[in-house]
Amino acid sequence: MQENSFSGLERIGRASARKPVVVIGAWLLILLLTVAGNRTFGGIYQDSVDISGTQASQGLALLSQNYKAVSGYSGLVVIHVSKGVLPNYSSAIKASYANMARLPDVLSVTYPLSPGSTTISKDQKTAYFDIQFSKMPLALGIKYLANLDKATSPMVATGLQVEYGGGLDQLTRPVPSGLSSEAIGFLVALVVLLISFGSVAGTALPLVTAVMSIGIGLSILGIVAAVITFGTASPTLAVMIGLGVGIDYAVFLTTRFRQQIINGVDPVSAAGLTAKSSGKAVLVAAASVSVALLGLYASGITFIGQLGVAAIFCVVVAALGAITLVPAGLGLLGKGIDRLKIRRPVAESSGESDGWNKYAQTVRRHPWTFLIGGLLLMAILAIPLFSIDIGHVADGADPISFTDKRAYDLISNGFGKGANGTFQVVVDLAGSKVPAETLGPTVYKDLSATNDVAEVTQPTLTPNKRLMIATVVPSTGPQNKETARLFDTLVNTTMPTAVSGTGARAYVTGGTAVQMQFDQILASRLPIIIIVVVLTAFLIIMASFRSLVIAIKAAILNMVSIGAAYGVIVAVFQWGWGRGLIGVSENVPIESYVPMMMFAIVFGLSMDYEIFLLSRMKEIWDETRDSGHAVAAGLASTARVITAAALIMVSVFAAFVTSNQVVIKMLAIGLAASILIDATIVRLLLVPSAMSILGSASWYMPRWLDKVIPHIDTEASAVRAEAREASHNQDPPVPSASS
């Protein structure tokens, strides 16, 4: 990719700075239109996972074709009495049952007081109604909850405890808007920027432009959600990533602009040169993030790929804002970028007495010490990774203030933990050579004899006599490894043995089974995601910096970095180190798609710092051909900005631990840890020490490969052009604020 392909960026930057009111006004208009469009036409977010072809989905399909009453979307209404027994309240329970059965979109409701019912506990103090809906509860709308409350009011009036669980958590725990987490992240970013940047004006610009970009990106996502189904975590994920990169991109440009002003360049020219240089790095970084997120489609599961696409909306808008809205703001501030200083403003360049320069020289003198020390730190952080348990986070991990958590606990206490994660065994009798009356007892006997099975219902025939159905209650909860092993045993051993030679076919299905097959698919495809994302990052780095060695080094160090971040989330969520501080009530497995999402996001985001640091090193290497000096000077000139940008992104991500969703908390901790590790141990220890050891070999590129790989110019050549242009500027340079 040649230099002239980016020649328009400087013109865009200059034009935006020359007419800031017009550009800012246009962005405000777009913001108003997209927000209005989202409110008018926006869709809903719901988790719709397609795992067609698996035996769990085939079992559900058979139920849907032959017995619709039990093939819908399940929700539980759990009731409990502390004094007496539930049959004493039969009138109220019967009235509520009738009310629920008449609700819209209800296919069927179980009645817990029926003779022989399995949905009432042995002590008759706890019971539940299993409601089958024709559509996903979230699609019913939040107003549906008022109808449900009215239906259950006879039981509430008599003093019964009524809680909603299962799929009804989609109504009782609506998808958070992210506003509280966003506000916390915004405030923390404000403090970090004030301390690191040093001026109110320079602090306000990145925050304001990032928020505008996020508002537009999130609104566009909402409008598209009316056509494409995005997961419930999509808007929060989009805000989390978009806010982080939006502030970072603006900080990179604002810092470069300020240095141009210090060097005596007029504001309009400075904005143009900034867009030409740092704007290039931003576009390449945004493209890298987007490509990495698109790599999630390599999982083969549309649901996962669309989570990545959801985040891309905000990343792309943030990048467009960086090359138009930010230069407009810079043009408006002009030489007043340091207005209302609270401390000496941060500058990119550093003198020999600067602390970062001294640190860089120390790394240059003792590279092996820093390399070994950094690798030891990473190894320690990665230790928990070797005990990672990938699975699904159940309702039991929610705070006790949530009704789904209380429902979960009531069922666990009344029926055993396995009652929260039952399996449905479906036997297709088409082609069976054995009568159902004979096959049923065999199935029941084999299921009952299986290890880790707490209870089995007698197999029953569907009304059309085509299927035989039984419910298996595990002895352990849905998050336990034993339950996952039981599922594998039922699928691979118990049921094939039970129907062997009969001509019948057996399936293990239900919500728990579908989730476990989903987890297994993701775990098996994680290596594919890793290969795709690592290869993408490898090619981008090699094309940007014309070095095979640096590309290999970046791929290896990023792998080490993500391994350490995985170790952190295992320690917090699986081992329980500090989980109580973030509102997680029990140890949980690592949600199946979190490692995949983290890998793609972190690899993409790490490119920001990689490109920013290596661009400076490449610039100095091209000028001096002194590798040691290039590494030390590049580190000294960028360390302060990288550290500030990383602190902002870490703060934004960490703020999302206030989310009411455990998976979002997990992503927040994982991404915050990843960025912190990447911007400190990797960028400030491992990269400079490794490159100091490699010396000039760091920039090795085979000639044949150099001809094949396209060129991506990030920033270095533009920086040299800026220097030449600035040297001819008519205004004399002013002293640097760092001098």
Give residue-wise pLDDT tens across range 107-119. 889 999 998 888 9
Q: What pLDDT sits at residue 86?
A: 96
More confident residue, 161 or 196: 161
Question: Under CATH, what is the fold of the domain 423-509?
Answer: Alpha-Beta Plaits (3.30.70)
Q: What pLDDT sits at residue 343?
A: 61
Query: Could you tell me which residues are beta bridge partners of residue 590?
Result: 390
Confidence of residue 236 (pLDDT cuts 50, 70, 90): confident
Topology match between the domains 1-45+177-348 and 350-389+547-713: yes
The domains of the chain are located at 1-45+177-348, 66-172, 350-389+547-713, 423-509
Q: What pLDDT sits at residue 714?
A: 57
Give residue-wise pLDDT tens across range 705-718. 888 888 776 554 44
Dihedral in degrees, nearest 10, Cα atoms 570, 571, 575, 578: -130
How much of the chain is in helix, strand and coil states, percent to nearest 5?
70, 10, 25
- In the predicted structure, residue 377 carries a pLDDT above the cut 90: yes
Q: Closest Cα to residue 530, out of 298, 238, 241?
A: 298
Determine phi and psi for 558, rounding to 5 degrees.
Answer: -70, -35
- In the predicted structure, residue 597 carries a pLDDT above the cut 50: yes
What CATH number does domain 1-45+177-348 carry, 3.40.50.970, 3.40.630.30, 1.20.1640.10, 1.10.10.10?
A: 1.20.1640.10
More confident residue, 232 or 737: 232
Question: What secondary structure, in 3-state letters, does 621-687 show?
Answer: HHHHCCHHHHHHHHHHHHHHHHHHHHHHHHHHHHHHHHCCCHHHHHHHHHHHHHHHHHHHHHHHHHH
Q: What pLDDT sits at residue 113?
A: 94
CATH number belonging to domain 350-389+547-713: 1.20.1640.10
Architecture of domain 66-172: 2-Layer Sandwich (3.30)
Distance between CA 267 and CA 330 in Å, rounded? 8
pLDDT mean across residues, the chain = 84
Confidence of residue 127 (pLDDT cuts 50, 70, 90): very high
Q: What pLDDT sits at residue 182?
A: 67
Q: What pLDDT sits at residue 104?
A: 93
Of the spans 2-16, 132-146, 222-236, which averages the highest pLDDT? 222-236
Contact 357, 364 (CB under 8 A): no
Distance between CA 90 and CA 93 in Å, rounded? 5
Strand (E) or helix (H) holding 310:
helix 302-323
Q: Is the dihedral of CA 125, 130, 131, 135 positive or negative?
A: positive
3-state secondary structure of 132: strand
Distance between CA 419 and CA 617 in Å, rounded? 59
